[in-house]
Amino acid sequence: MMKKKKKEKNIYGIIGLGRFGYALAIELAQSGADIIAIDRDEEKVRELREYTENAFIVKSLDKKTLSETGFHNCDVAIVCIGEHLDTSILTTLNLVSLGIPKVIAKATGAEHGEILEKLGAEVVYPERDIAIRLARRLEASRVLDYIQLSEKLNISKLLVPKSLVGQDVKTADLRGRFGVNIIAIENDSVVNESIGPGYVFREGDILFVSGRREALDSLSEWA
């Protein structure tokens, strides 16, 4: 049982050590967070004890067991059970009734999610969200080339984002939004190195932008 101690940072409780729960637990533990994790699988719990001493084998997820393992001390509890809907729903209800400030629950579908929301949980859809992110990245990944000139100066070559077509440079404000500078634009094999604030982005524009790596990464993720 995790002993109650003076709170210096949030305590996260994780229920279910499947792929989602296990990855979440490791990520939180490696970032220095205090976690409590429970699962009925002895092997998974044993593996997680390399990252936290507060990993417990449980056979029941009733309020008594959750309280005994320290979940009543948690600031955030995450239900990572998706396959067994009845267990997911009952466990979420128990966590909410324990008075945990924030309960997050994994859902496998819309109806499952609606029930969890009505119980007072914040709902996440890991598989759906990963698929959406991947699709957006595949669709919006327009970076054609990347050159690092120094630690502070990098140049990226990318297709103009669709959302910028028809806007002028001043309105787009890539410098203010991302901290990057447009140094040239190519269209139909013609390179324009004198880009003023009134230039209007066109379909097929290839932008040459410079800035810090973090700024260029932010721009490419947005694009």
pLDDT tens digits for range 145-200: 656 565 567 888 888 988 899 999 999 999 999 999 998 999 988 888 888 999 99
Give residue 101's pLDDT: 95
165 secondary structure, DSSP code? T
Give residue 63's pLDDT: 94
Give residue 3's pLDDT: 47
Q: Which amino acid is at 15?
A: I
Given phi > 0 = left and psi -120 to 50 = alpha, else beta, which region is 110?
alpha
Give residue 4's pLDDT: 47
Neighbouring CB atoms inside 10 A of 94's CB total: 23
Domain with CATH 3.40.50.720 in the chain: 11-132
Give residue 189's pLDDT: 84
Give residue 61's pLDDT: 94
- The residue assigned the tokens 């001390």 is 73
CA nearest to 162, candidates 196, 207, 218, 192? 207
Give residue 140's pLDDT: 46
- CA distances (Å), 200 to each of 36, 112, 180, in order? 54, 47, 17
The top-level CATH class assigned to 141-222 is alpha beta
Give residue 146's pLDDT: 55
Give residue 72's pLDDT: 93
Give residue 6's pLDDT: 47
Give residue 84's pLDDT: 86
Give residue 5's pLDDT: 47
Which residues of the chain register pLDDT less than 50? 2-6, 139-141
Domain with CATH 3.30.70.1450 in the chain: 141-222
Distance CA 100, CA 213 (A): 40
Give residue 172's pLDDT: 92
CATH 3.20.20.80 correct for 11-132: no
